[in-house]
Amino acid sequence: MRTLIIVLGLILVGCESPKKDYDFTFFKWNIHESYYLKFNSSDTLYYTNVYGFKKETYFTILNDEEKERIYNILDTITFPKKDSYESLVEDGETNAFVLKYKNQLKKLKIHGHNGPILFRLFGKSLDRIKIDHEFTKTDKKIDLREINKMVIMKVPPTFVVDTLK
């Protein structure tokens, strides 16, 4: 009997689906707000507010349904070959997505109403999660280097500021 319990326990533990090891970052910018959301396969969602001159990081705990919804989208969404869809209009909204999973890096930046609709809808659902949660401030530093390569414009080395002399 004892052996049977041990064997059943090992089978049940062995049948558990492997944990996904996602490292996902979302960025949203418009004239009213600018922020990052970071999800890394736990139940914690990090929110970094970079609107204006501040850079403050907060966190919240996702419920199982929200976490599973994000997992399902990340499991099924297909990143296009083209990694940027720009608009000729300077204002509007920019969304960027970076997914690191199993040594692969997938990126997409969309501006305005361009780009794949599934990503625009995914961005809206992430925005809804942000709005619906209460976040707690943290001093944790979130690694945003990869997504910043897409959304932060580098100053050209030949750029000169014309100052009054």
What's the pLDDT tens digit per position in 1-41?
A: 555 445 444 454 444 455 578 899 999 998 899 999 999 87
Distance, in Å, from the CA atom of 6 to the CA atom of 1, rounded to the nearest integer, reads 9
The percentage of residues in the chain with a pLDDT greater than 70, rounded to a whole number, is 81
What's the pLDDT tens digit per position in 62-89?
A: 999 999 999 999 999 999 999 998 877 7
Write down all domains in the chain, each with its CATH number in brackets: 19-151 (3.30.1560)
Distance, in Å, from the CA atom of 40 to the CA atom of 38, rounded to the nearest integer, reads 7
Distance, in Å, from the CA atom of 87 to the CA atom of 83, rounded to the nearest integer, reads 14
* This prediction's pTM: 0.79
Phi, psi of 36 (to 5 degrees): -120, 145
